[in-house]
Structure 1
Amino acid sequence: MNRTTLSLIAGVTALAAVTGFAAVSSPDTGTTDEPARAAAHLPVERTSLLCPQPSTSDLAETTYTSFTPPTEGAEKEGKAELRPATRKPGKAVLKPKDPGKPAAGEASGAEAPALIGTAEGRFAPGWTVQQTTEVVAGTGRGLQGVTCTAADTEFWFPGTSTAADRTDYVHLTNPDDSAAVVDIELYGKDGALKTTVGEGITVQPHSAEPVLLSTLTDEKQTDVTVHVVVRSGRVGAAVQALDDQLGGDWLPASADPSGTMVLPGIPKDATAVRLVAFTPRDADVDLKLRLASPTGEITPAGNETLHVKGGMTTAVDLGDITRGEAGSLLLTAPDGSVPVVAAVRVLRGKGENQESAFIPATRPVGTRATAVENTAKGTTLSVTAPEGTAEIKVTASPGTEGGTPASKTYTVKSGTTQIIEAPVPSGAKGSYALTIESESDAPVYASRTLSTTTGGVPFFTVQPLPDDRGTVAVPEANEDLSVLQE
């Protein structure tokens, strides 16, 4: 065996040892016709999250909370931190000390920057960061919460607006060492809106760029779908939707276009629900609407279907569809043939004391999902199982300042939405994390609502809880030395 062959073998062996992505085993000529074995699921070794600039209000008070759920097989060493998204990173806003224990940081006023977070080793699997801002007055006053997200190359945001009473920003954050180039497309009730500067937006390395939607087009429309497409590089994206009278919140990206969508956790005291849907296909579609209530699925009277025209944004007011009971909206295209994205805007309160939040279509909980910054009185956990009865385990972590973890197991009946009385850590001090784990094959969808009352206004924010992607499937690999021979 020559030197080149030996070097290649050494390189392959070292790569497997470092990444943990493949296991090298002895060849077995007697098993070449056997089917491939199922991939192992191993903890991820690095996670990157992006938090948008929280507010331009001098009255803003922002809390960041970080949590990594304990994960079997995770590395013993590692670190995590959140730093400003600038070319010359400043002091870390937050540095968690141990997995299984939440950590918190704070910021005040309009100068708080966007943040770039990285977690390595034992902190990486399922690392979750929540950014929550309270603004007591002015446009968008209320509770604005967002789960910091990973960078990607495409995002859909149905539910935005360019109307005169709305101030909506698309926040773009670039975590990488090279510039990203982004296109922002807008679609209204009659199709694509003519934009002036929506193409070729450059986001510099390690920086953030808030883009005001009303500066991209002269058209004023109540319901707009935003499509963010990254030409080169990658970015994190989120929409901050602020209303002059109805408060505001963050609108996370909808799940990828699909023929079946679940929008979980409409609060029981919602006074108005507005559904916005869009299909990128040229074909029209009649969506079937159902509400998963605590007692089962209900077809909303007068809103059995929603006709969505291809390439056009469609909206409908569903009123107080929940009628005093929490629910989740289920949307289905016939045969799943036409993919759609969707979101709802939810209002609570009456008259001048109204506040708004958004719930997009979301991915299922999958193996595990995490919600952070919970408190015993201000947290509501909503879970729905649209395809079959499901079992879930919910674990409350210690608080940011102490406490003992607690767990409970729940059954969610098929076609229902349940408000879970989540466990509370004994002796909890500060906020804590809630981790949801699927214990059955039936998919579950979940959201968490944070709420408080300020000056008679019911401040609230809703975050969907998709799978935290804390593990990665790693196929088994067998050694094949023939590829190394000359």
Structure 2
Amino acid sequence: MKRTTLSLIAGATALAAVTGFAALSAPDGTAATGTKATTRLPVERAGLVCPAPSTSEVAETRYTSYTPPGTSTGTGAATGSSKTEQPMALLRIAARGPAAGGTGKTDKKAKAPKAPATVTAPGKPVTAQADGGSVPALTGAATGTLAPGWTVQQTTVVPAGGARGLLGLGCGAPDTDFWFPAASTAKDRQDYVHLTNPDDTAAVADIELYGPEGALKSQFTEGIPVPAHSTVPVLLSTLTSEAGRKDVTVHVTTRSGRVGAAVAVADDKLGSDWIAPAADPASSAVLPGIPADATSVRLVAFAPGDDDADLKVQLVTASGTIVPAGADSLHVKSGMTAAVDLPNLTRGAVGSLLLTPSDPKKPIPVVAALQVVRGKGENTEIAFIPATAAVSARATVADNRAKGSTLSLTAPGADAQVKVTASAGSEGGTPVSKTVTVKGGTTTVLTDLVPAGLKGSYALTVEPVSGGKIHAARTLALPEDDVPMFTIQPFVDDRGTVEVPTAHQDLGVLD
């Protein structure tokens, strides 16, 4: 509690410091008079973290960096700076630090991608290729007109071996608190949580593991040092004497500093992918974009508070909301991980899972994620869908291909109207936009929104226009031989604008 309070005070002080000068005068040059009014301005600095993509020597990784057009004013207003700085958006190497509980060494020989994936102007994706198992984690920064909405997609194909699969991850912003349901310490799973520090000072992280009976006995999980500009991979099964747990919820927090966090999953039988952080604990959750041909779907949920949660489980389809046969509810005990298989869930149609309190008068916060499998027998592939917050202003997922990209839009409540834009291609093509109305309680699928004359890959941007809340996810399918390789990325609001308080000049503080 003390740490949170101090952080809020420090954040407010810093915001006042950087915005005070810019807010002293109104745009027309007159003095601002209000102290309560706020305005939204484009951010002028953004940071992202990309974990090391793979340890496989046959891995092929593509980075796609993109800033959507149309947000930044280019005035420097959000930072309080009156100077015009050269915009930039680029990625840098994060050194490999010592693993938790081990004596790992920093990888000084690791090489960055052949191309820096540096964005030079909004509206056009830039790609870079990096192959092999020694590709390092990357930290990124964007400034000026390239900062609002800047996104980087990391896509890795591993065609053979124990980590076979298509691994996709939207590089995330550093933070101090992350939840990862659907992790595992089972014998056939290798789950690593990657902690990456983009800052100039060291961070200290804690990892908590929760199984079906509650907190797992653990070691080396408290006070994990993450040096400045470095990454630390932590194998979950080495953190506890209670290994062999099929369903585990991972909670990552920092005592000092901030990190980017993601969980890399390699299943000996099913394939591999990333688990992205789930939305913050809430009494209702939407898990968007379950593929139509999913052969197995497993729901994992965790109640972090002091009370048990009883959840109503529904599937939001193109025609409406239905209750899955035999799995209409889930009881989640406080501090414990609960899971349920949802067989024959989609029945040939893309859908999204909706979790709501069984008793609306007892809303208990939970975190949740889905493990999704496509294919059968030896030809299977795995992906994960975390609970995802609604897009409030704008969200983007980059690295879409001419074939294989499916966009799912879900309106769990009221009808929603949304604008979807397919950007120009990384090597050519003309952007195209479409306004879509999603009826309340349904999921709409788009597969044909592709830039005219597309060459290379493109980005998809979702912007709510009117109506109710909208949740979105992108599925990328890249079949390899007979394996239906795929990955699913949720659309997370890009926070391209920030609410800035209006200040006025008060010389009385000098008395």
CA distance in 1, matches of 2:155, 2:192: 17
**Shift, 1:14, TM fit:** 9.7
Change in Cα spacing, 1:381 to 1:194, as seen in structure 2 (3 Å) is same
**Shift, 1:135, TM fit:** 0.3
Q: Is the 8 A contact 2:87 2:146 kept in 1?
A: yes
Change in Cα spacing, 1:472 to 1:13, as seen in structure 2 (3 Å) is closer
SS at match of 1:479: coil
Q: Indicate the residue corresponding to 1:110 in structure 2.
A: 133
Alignment deviations for residues 352-388 of structure 1 (CA, whole Å, 9 cap, x no partner): 1110000000111111110111112110000100111
Q: Is the 8 A contact 1:174 1:206 kept in 2?
A: yes
Within a 5 Å distance, the mapping from 1:38-437 to structure 2 comes to 39-75=38-74, 77-86=86-95, 93-219=116-242, 220-333=244-357, 334-335=359-360, 337-437=363-463
In the alignment, structure 1 segments of 5+ residues that lack a partner are 1-11
CA distance in 1, matches of 2:31, 2:199: 39
Q: Which amino acid aligns with 2:319?
A: T
Q: Which amino acid aligns with 1:223?
A: D
CA distance in 2, matches of 1:81, 1:455: 34
**Shift, 1:421, TM fit:** 3.5
**Shift, 1:237, TM fit:** 0.2
SS at match of 2:509: helix
Change in Cα spacing, 1:393 to 1:199, as seen in structure 2 (3 Å) is same
> TM-score, normalised to structure 1's length?
0.92
Q: Indicate the residue corresponding to 2:101 in structure 1.
A: none
**Shift, 1:332, TM fit:** 1.1
SS at match of 2:484: strand
Change in Cα spacing, 1:350 to 1:90, as seen in structure 2 (3 Å) is closer
> TM-score, normalised to structure 2's length?
0.88
Q: Indicate the residue corresponding to 2:7 in structure 1.
A: none
**Shift, 1:396, TM fit:** 1.1
**Shift, 1:413, TM fit:** 0.4
Change in Cα spacing, 1:188 to 1:70, as seen in structure 2 (3 Å) is same
CA distance in 2, matches of 1:210, 1:246: 22
Q: Indicate the residue corresponding to 2:491 in structure 1.
A: 465
Q: Is the 8 A contact 1:59 1:136 kept in 2?
A: yes
In the alignment, structure 2 segments of 5+ residues that lack a partner are 1-14, 76-85, 96-105
Q: Is the 8 A contact 1:83 1:94 kept in 2?
A: no
CA distance in 2, matches of 1:413, 1:139: 42
Deviates more, 1:259-268 or 1:79-88: 79-88
Q: Which amino acid aligns with 1:26?
A: A
Change in Cα spacing, 1:322 to 1:96, as seen in structure 2 (3 Å) is same
CA distance in 2, matches of 1:78, 1:17: 23
CA distance in 2, matches of 1:14, 1:221: 48
Q: Which amino acid aligns with 1:79?
A: M
Q: Is the 8 A contact 1:83 1:90 kept in 2?
A: no
Change in Cα spacing, 1:15 to 1:468, as seen in structure 2 (3 Å) is closer
**Shift, 1:189, TM fit:** 0.7
SS at match of 2:232: strand
Q: Is the 8 A contact 2:23 2:32 kept in 1?
A: no
- What is the count of residue pairs matched by the alignment? 467
Q: Is the 8 A contact 1:102 1:400 kept in 2?
A: yes
CA distance in 2, matches of 1:422, 1:372: 16
Q: Indicate the residue corresponding to 2:4 in structure 1.
A: none
CA distance in 2, matches of 1:345, 1:83: 32
Q: Is the 8 A contact 2:24 2:31 kept in 1?
A: no
* CA RMSD, Structure 1 to Structure 2 (Å): 2.0
**Shift, 1:337, TM fit:** 2.5
